[in-house]
Structures are given as C-alpha cells and as structure tokens.
Structure 1
C-alpha cells in the first residue's frame, strides 16, 4: 500500500508541474517572449490547454469573472496542495 501512496504523490507532483509550466508559459506568451506563430510553441500551448481544460473548466464556472485575470490555475494548485496534505496526514492508512 505504500507504493499506492507514492504513486498518488507522484501524480499530484506531475499535475502541479504541468500547471506551473502552463502558468509560466501563459505569462511568456502575454509579454511577447514566446511567439505563438512558431509551430512548436503553438503545439505545446494547445496540448497544455487541452490537457488542463478539464481541470480549469469547472473551476472557471464556479469563480466569479475577474476581468482578464484567470485565477483557475491558482485554485487548482491550492486543491492539489490540499489533497497532498490530506494524503500525508492519512499516510498511516496506506501502510
């Protein structure tokens, strides 16, 4: 059962990393550092959007409109951290 706990923590870590990469990439695109006309950048951006939309979509429907500010990545990260805390506090159940 310890391996199940480790696999869950690994998956949460991967999800957290993907969200952070998407967050940083969105800022780089907004400030013109990355060019969306480059095929590699466009493919990575499209892939990340398709991967994260099932997570961001329900969060965006719950959160109020904030103008041009999207807080769904922050809420998703907070949710991942909360799940990690719950798993760590209940790690004894996996032994």
Structure 2
C-alpha cells in the first residue's frame, strides 16, 4: 500500500510541476520574454494548454469572471496541494 501512496504523491508532484511551468510560461509570454512565433515555444505552450485545460475548465465555470485575470491555475494548484496533504495525513489508515 505504501507504494500506491508514493505513486499517487509522485503523480501529484508531476502535475504540480507542470502547472508551475505553465504559469511561469504564461507570464513570460505576457511580458514578451517568450515569443509564440518560435516553433518550439508555440508547441510547448499549446501542449501544456491541451494538457491542463481539462483541469482548469471546470474551475473556470465555478469562479466568477475576473476580466483578464485567470484564477483557475491558482485554485488548481491549491487543490492539488490539498489533495497531497489529505493523502499524506490519511496514509496511516491504509496500512
């Protein structure tokens, strides 16, 4: 059972890392440090969007419209971290 818990925590850590990379990349694109005209940057950006949109879309439906500020990634980060805390705190119950 310990291995399953560790695998779930690893998956959550990978999701966390991908979300952080997506957030930082969005800042760099908005501040024009990265250019979507470059093929590698565009492919990476669209790949991350396709990967994370299924996670963000239900959150966006619940959140109120805040104009140009997208709070869905922040809420998703908090949810991933909360799930991680719940798994760690309840791990002894599965032994």
| Bin of the TM-score, shorter chain as denominator length | over 0.9
Work out whether residues 5 and 94 of structure 1, in 8 Å CA contact, stay in contact via their aligned partners in 2: no
1:33 and 2:37 are equivalent in the alignment: no
Which whole-Å CA distance do the structure 2 matches of 1:51 and 1:33 have between them? Answer: 23
How big is the shift at 1:93? 2.5
Q: State the shift of 1:63 in Å.
A: 0.3
TM value normalised by structure 2: 0.98
**Counterparts of 1:1-95 in structure 2 under 5 Å?**
1-95=1-95
8 A contact 1:16–1:77 mirrored in 2: yes
Number of residue pairs matched? 95
**Which runs of 5 or more structure 2 residues have no equivalent in the other structure?**
none
